Structure 1
């Protein structure tokens, strides 16, 4: 693995810092944090403004809205989004997961129509994979796509879908093969416009700040052009997408930011750290640094067109478990200071999800980190299975 940061990434980092600190972007961040829409806060106007500056998809080809940059530019972008209190989930799903799959497996028409719009922040996306009885076992899904003349008709229900209320289009996995077909060979991936007749999106209550959604597909009619990668080719695309989704990048950047906030809050008012606090922070910092290296290794493999699902699973497991531990460390070290503003230090009771508010939100988000994006037990099973194959006989 190459540890050198390309000059182009360093230049991009400086550009991002100037942009994030501009009064215009900071004003848009405050608007999102007000949550005036009664949900998560509509971040799309902010994304569109960032898209106008061409920073949302730096690693994509230039003719598709990117900058032909190294993957390290994407790492820098995610670090800055989180540091400046900009919600990153909708971006990560739209560009890094949805966009990466279209880039790898979409037709030329799908790439030219979807990717530039995603890079400009004008199009947002979500993923419709999980079902009420099928979470990590995607090969067991029951949503069907049956042929009716020149169209496909989708029937089914997808649940725990993040950001669906803000998305324009979804990647949906459905079963297109008959009962005699292998469950891995009978899956296809469809592009589903979320304003299509028969699509119903309802919010689900959540302990975390961001809402999940229950999406029902009732007689949703789609043309052949809506299929990504070909009929029955869904499983290969899904495993490719997992290498992007499970890089662990979105978990690493949150863990790093939360740890910085914990350390900063501990020394507020000139307080000195206790020895046990220094030790705990150092241990956590080491885990966060390891998470960054694992994330970068998984992203390097993707950039080299050598996706490794086992390596990605290891990265996601380590990053999500680390983020969870950091969130809980905040409560161990800060107690009630984690969830309450310090009025004596001039902290406001309301405002963007930064400082005390970010740590309080992290504590609520932590329980689901070992489940979302791949349960930890499933990820470890994938890693163990892949690595056991390489064990030499008698070793």
Structure 2
């Protein structure tokens, strides 16, 4: 089974390859990798450079900064970003998750004011859902927003933690409780909070992987009425819609693909001949990678056609993250201490970084156990409806 790739995507792929090989793109990539900020490396100048070329949101409508392209153009873009060593997490959160939700559920004013800036790289975003005591249980959110006494908006108070890229984000999509409600799923509201608002503090949290998490505190943070995203109290339905964009598995698939390519190169470096068991392992992981791509494309196609399916996306994320984790660990088991050294001819320890990142891949963005529960529940519901 193969998704048909239109000629326009092939042309886009050539354009992206030329852009990523451009000297200015390579210079900006090296600057970000130098980590002069002593954190992850500020990649925003690079994104703005790519945004000016119009490649960051190819599948969006042109009126919002996109190209009206097929969803396969997005797959190609992410594959090329990773293979060229361009950090993609901030882009993925800003455009593919937050941007996709705005595209699905935002007002026309929000779409016109936010989406072109996200597509150009002039605006970056993060997601603030997780809290210190609740982990994946997003319905237990305790960060609160109360109406301002002067009626001008809201006052937010609380804490979010283990959030990626918050130090580089201009705006945060934040889940807060605005009403206790009759159910813990009620009374949750989404806010778009500018992170330069007085009372917001962002503190980095070092992690085992290269990318840092952040701890964010809101102390009497005042936001206007226009900061509300969607209806007050209707945040949970929007969160579940966002999951279809967040959990399509694409960002895990593209990293797994690159890691397997690098491991395969190591197996034949300097005339080395892989053993039978090494070749079998390579083939096994390649087969899982092919399945990951198909699951990802199916989820993206549904999203592109406006038919997002949380169970379908959850299955894709589960399979892609488990596959990526398995490839990283297999590479270490196969290559041994050699994996800890930079790639031959480079200073880039790709597989060593993959090994450190692997443990968190089946936790972040939806833990595997939670995703399988969603998939199983949806399947049982399907059987009930069909009498199966």
Q: Do both share a fold (TM > 0.5)?
A: yes
Q: Which residue of 1 aligns with 2:163?
A: 161
Alignment TM-score, normalising by the size of structure 2: 0.97
- Distance in 1 (CA, whole Å) between partners of 2:267 and 2:22 is 28
Q: Which moved more, 1:217-226 or 1:1-10?
A: 1-10
Q: Which residue of 1 aligns with 2:33?
A: 33
Q: Which residue of 2 aligns with 1:174?
A: 176
Shift of 1:2: 7.3
State the Cα deviation string for residues 230-269 of structure 1 (Å, max 9, x = none).
1111111101110000000000000000000000011111
State the Cα deviation string for residues 143-174 of structure 1 (Å, max 9, x = none).
11111222111111000000000000000000
CA contact (8 A) 2:3 2:297 kept: no
SS in structure 1 opposite 2:38? coil
Q: Which residue of 1 aligns with 2:338?
A: 337
Which runs of no fewer than 5 residues in structure 2 stay unpaired?
A: none
Shift of 1:140: 1.0
- Distance in 2 (CA, whole Å) between partners of 1:27 and 1:305 is 38
State the Cα deviation string for residues 285-341 of structure 1 (Å, max 9, x = none).
000010000000001111111110001000000000000000001101100010024
Q: Which residue of 2 aligns with 1:232?
A: 233
Q: Which residue of 2 aligns with 1:129?
A: 129
CA contact (8 A) 2:147 2:155 kept: yes
Q: Which residue of 2 aligns with 1:217?
A: 218
Q: Which moved more, 1:201-210 or 1:269-278?
A: 269-278
- Distance in 2 (CA, whole Å) between partners of 1:77 and 1:135 is 31
Please point out which of 359, 368, 374 is paired with 1:367.
359
Q: Which residue of 2 aligns with 1:107?
A: 107
Q: Which moved more, 1:359-368 or 1:264-273?
A: 264-273
CA contact (8 A) 2:342 2:350 kept: no
Q: Which residue of 1 aligns with 2:19?
A: 19
CA contact (8 A) 2:158 2:218 kept: yes
Q: Which moved more, 1:258-267 or 1:28-37?
A: 28-37
- Distance in 1 (CA, whole Å) between partners of 2:63 and 2:314 is 31
SS in structure 2 opposite 1:390? helix
- Distance in 2 (CA, whole Å) between partners of 1:96 and 1:308 is 16
SS in structure 2 opposite 1:366? helix
Alignment RMSD, CA only?
1.3
- Distance in 2 (CA, whole Å) between partners of 1:184 and 1:204 is 29
Shift of 1:129: 0.3
SS in structure 2 opposite 1:172? strand
Is 2:10 the counterpart of 1:10? Answer: yes
State the Cα deviation string for residues 20-67 of structure 1 (Å, max 9, x = none).
111221121111111111111111111000000000000111011000
Shift of 1:221: 0.8
Which runs of no fewer than 5 residues in structure 1 stay unpaired?
A: none
SS in structure 1 opposite 2:383? coil
Q: Which residue of 2 aligns with 1:91?
A: 91
